[in-house]
């Protein structure tokens, strides 16, 4: 059995208040939403937000019948539950993205923003996402671009050792990776996804500009030039819309969860999910399904 890659665990963290709330990141939040709206289908049956955390982007999914907020941290998902209340459209699931607890071909749309930089095994992640993606489904991915103007400048000035032009991922802090656009596209193609559109984002993520220029203006400017991503990607963030045209399965309405250990479909009974094949028992606590 192959060894499971390490997973970045935000369990019990203050990520929401430490990183987002009142932390001067309104610009980043808004330009990410702009890019997401440009690429994500407006309506659909099933959507999964991979690494959803406390549900920052949950209000963007109003056009979907069933939305899964998926994260390794059950504590962040409980924060999402408190924010969303008992909205029946949302299903909150805690698990490992290398062993996702869903049947094949379940999701029409997959969204992943600000989380793949924690992926130590991108091929393994993409293979699992391809498994749960519906035929002709959409995958909107945001990744931290190592080939950005700041890193290029630092490299040329010999202020950093790693090259932004090298296509291999760089781990600049433990379980924090930057990726070359070519590497991401090649891995997407190798694992069954077909890249369609690329957007460059966060052109003006510069402290001086954020402090001295109105946020609304910066967002409008960023929105106007995001499409330059089809020509070059030199910004710290890149969004890619891919489709999944070759997957041959579409899940049936009766099947949703699958045991992450053996992939056998399982059904909920009294907030417990028993796998008849391997005998593992999963559960639901405080509004969150726990599969880890």
71, part of any domain: yes
- The number of distinct structural domains making up the chain is 1
pLDDT at residue 245, as a whole number: 82
Please list, residue by residue across 20-31, b when 16 or more beta carbons sit within 10 angstroms of its beta carbon and e when fewer do: beeeeeebbebb
pTM beyond 0.85: the answer is: yes
| DSSP E strand boundaries for 145-236 | 170-173, 176-178, 194-201
Please list, residue by residue across 135-167, b when 16 or more beta carbons sit within 10 angstroms of its beta carbon and e when fewer do: eebbbbbbbbbbbbeebbeebeeeebeeebeee
* Residues in contact with 214: Cβ distance below 8 Å, sequence separation at least 6, in sequence order: none
154, part of any domain: yes
7, part of any domain: no
10, part of any domain: no
6, part of any domain: no
**Neighbour-count burial of 214, counting CB atoms closer than 10 A to its CB (0-12 exposed, 13-18 middle, 19+ buried):** exposed
Domain enclosing residue 260, as ranges: 15-291
Give the C-alpha separation, 5 to 70, whole Å: 18
Give the C-alpha separation, 127 to 6, whole Å: 17
**Neighbour-count burial of 245, counting CB atoms closer than 10 A to its CB (0-12 exposed, 13-18 middle, 19+ buried):** exposed
179, part of any domain: yes
pLDDT at residue 1, as a whole number: 47
One digit per residue, the tens of pLDDT, for the chain of length 292 reads 468 899 999 999 999 999 999 999 999 999 999 999 999 999 999 999 999 999 999 999 999 999 999 999 999 999 999 999 889 999 999 999 999 999 999 999 999 999 999 999 999 999 999 999 999 999 999 999 999 999 999 999 999 999 999 999 999 999 999 999 999 999 999 999 999 999 999 999 999 999 999 999 999 999 999 999 988 899 999 999 999 887 656 656 678 999 999 999 998 888 889 999 999 999 999 999 999 9
Strand-strand pairing, 194-201 and 237-244: antiparallel
pLDDT at residue 28, as a whole number: 98
3, part of any domain: no
The three-class DSSP label of residue 146 is coil
Strand-strand pairing, 90-95 and 107-112: unpaired
5, part of any domain: no
CATH of the domain at 102: 3.40.50.150
CB 148 within 8 A of CB 235: yes
Q: What is the rounded (10 degree) CA torsion for 210, 212, 213, 218?
A: -10
Assigned token pair, 240: 């890619």
Token pair 């599969």 is at which residue?
291
């Amino acid at each position: 059995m192959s060894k499971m890659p390490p997973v970045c665990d935000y369990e019990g963290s203050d990520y929401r208040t430490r990183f987002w709330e009142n932390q001067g990141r309104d610009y980043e939040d808004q330009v990410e939403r702009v890019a997401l709206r440009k690429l994500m289908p407006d309506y659909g049956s099933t959507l999964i937000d991979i690494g959803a955390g406390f549900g920052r982007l949950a209000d963007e999914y109003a056009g979907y019948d069933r939305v899964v907020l998926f994260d390794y941290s059950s504590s962040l998902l409980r924060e999402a539950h408190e924010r969303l209340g008992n909205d029946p459209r949302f299903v909150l699931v805690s698990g490992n993205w290398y062993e996702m607890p869903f049947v094949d071909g379940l999701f029409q749309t997959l969204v992943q923003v600000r989380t793949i930089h924690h992926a130590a095994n991108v091929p393994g992640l993409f293979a699992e996402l391809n498994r749960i993606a519906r035929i002709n489904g959409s995958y909107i991915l945001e990744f931290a671009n190592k080939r950005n103007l700041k890193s290029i400048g630092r490299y040329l000035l010999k202020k950093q050792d790693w090259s932004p032009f090298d296509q291999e991922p760089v781990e600049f802090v433990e379980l924090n990776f930057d990726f070359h656009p070519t590497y991401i596209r090649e891995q997407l193609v190798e694992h069954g996804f077909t890249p369609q559109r690329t957007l460059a984002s966060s052109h003006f993520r510069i402290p001086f500009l954020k402090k001295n220029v109105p946020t609304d203006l910066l967002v409008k400017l960023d929105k106007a030039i995001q499409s330059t991503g089809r020509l070059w990607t030199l910004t710290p963030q890149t969004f890619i819309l891919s489709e999944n045209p070759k997957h041959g399965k579409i899940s049936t309405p009766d099947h949703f969860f699958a045991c992450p250990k053996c992939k056998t479909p399982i059904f909920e009974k009294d907030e417990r999910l028993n796998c008849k094949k391997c005998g593992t028992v999963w559960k639901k606590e405080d509004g969150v399904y726990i599969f880890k």
